[in-house]
Amino acid sequence: MSRQRSVPTSRLGRLSLLGRLAGGIAGGMLSEGARQVARGSRPSIADLLLTPSNVGRIADRLSEMRGAAMKVGQLLSMDSGDILPPAFSELLARLREDAHHMPLGEVARVLERAWGEGWQQRFQRFHFTPLAAASIGQVHDAQLRDGMRVAVKIQYPGVQRSIDSDVDNVATLLRVARLLPEQYDVTPLLAEAKQQLHLEADYRHEAAAMQHFAALLGDDERFSIPQPLADLSNAEVLTMSFADGARIESLQHQPAVIRDAAATALTTLALREVFDWGMVQTDPNFANYQFDARTRRIQLLDFGATRVYPPARRRALRALLAACVDGSDDDIVRAATTVGYLGADDTPRYRAVITGLLRMASEPARHIGAFPFGNSDLVQRMSDRLVAVRVREPMGRLPPADVIFLHRKLGGLYLLLRRLQARVHVRELISDLLTAETGELHADSEVS
């Protein structure tokens, strides 16, 4: 089935799609409600909202709109156990690689605007069918005249100028549909989402982040990063050397020693990003990693969601990690308050809840020996605890936005290591980190 569809670029056109979505949801609720009442049931609003037909409507509309309309739900679902109903969170997670792609003529028009008439003469070949289509843009395989194979990332038309209105409109839809719990103030997260999305929609920022990451990695032979080509790149088109590795999940078929080595490299990289460099690629999508079985290198892709964490923030996060690994409950409360999980007026009960959740989340860092990610039920236990807490005592606040982005990063890493059935000596890696001198923190990793 073809997934080609033009991107609606006008504000009115995008708002109209959301309006039709809201109308379709309402109609679906009425139909489902009538059916359930006829059977003698008294369904809740959530039951009526998240029927398979309504989930399908939401998925199709957001996939058609792409841009921030897809991204905002993904950002809100980073703490899926906290914010959105599980069925809706799963839907938004599936949207990540389920976007429609542009018709061929639209691709040609975008490239002509970027490179001028006769742009095809720069290439031996250019595949108009994309390798991948996501929320901000799509990626094409091509070969330059000199024989170099490249990946060309093309942004959907109108994405940049639709970000603010899309975020506001989708958030309004979620509130009106009562998919956001009333006790949550998501205003700071939505403001952060807008800022982050504007960065992601500027491919010059991504090119700079790629080069900066490559410099930070230096001669670390466990990783490779594509090289952006400045003369074929701008804010809306990013051309880079082609990474021809296999999907990271292909590691599942490698011997355990190779899987564990790759998992250790990925864990070390994440720790360095957060605590050493202060420059974090926060998108956990598995498609952002590839594995070259010949060289055994992990290829790192897509740096649009890169965030900078200044030294003071990294010190606070390091103190919280140290408290969770070796500290008392009082140590965790103090560090969690500094980071923003807790406030001065929180009840003892709420503090105990947060302390317990942080201890649970940091289990791999306290485990003696190699932590068996493949056999761990930590994700399920965390989910169960969050649901229980939400029922007994609604959580009073969301963590700061920059912390939620870290949840996204580290949660995605955990799921990847679980998929790879990896065993990693996390405690040893953490111990090396915590014994390092705080003064060794690098200066801010600002990306120009």
- List active site positions: 283
What tokens appear for 1 in the block?
A: 């089935």
Q: CA dist 62 to 97, 100, 348, Å?
A: 12, 10, 41
The residue type found at 115 is W
Distance, CA of 167 to CA of 186 (rounded, Å): 12
Distance, CA of 277 to CA of 210 (rounded, Å): 14
Q: CA dist 428 to 59, 298, 373, Å?
A: 42, 22, 15
* Three-class SS state of 183: coil
Quick one: residue 275, left, alpha or beta (phi over 0 = left, psi -120 to 50 = alpha)? Answer: alpha
- Using only C-alpha atoms, the chain has a radius of gyration, in whole angstroms, of 23
Angle among Cα 143, 229, 221 to the nearest 5 degrees reads 95
3-state secondary structure 199-267: HHCCHHHHHHHHHHHHHHHCCCCCEECCCECHHHCCCCEEEEECCCCEEHHHHHHCCHHHHHHHHHHHH
The answer to whether 266 and 417 are in contact (CB under 8 A) is: yes
| H helices present in 50-128, as ranges | 52-65, 67-76, 86-94, 104-115
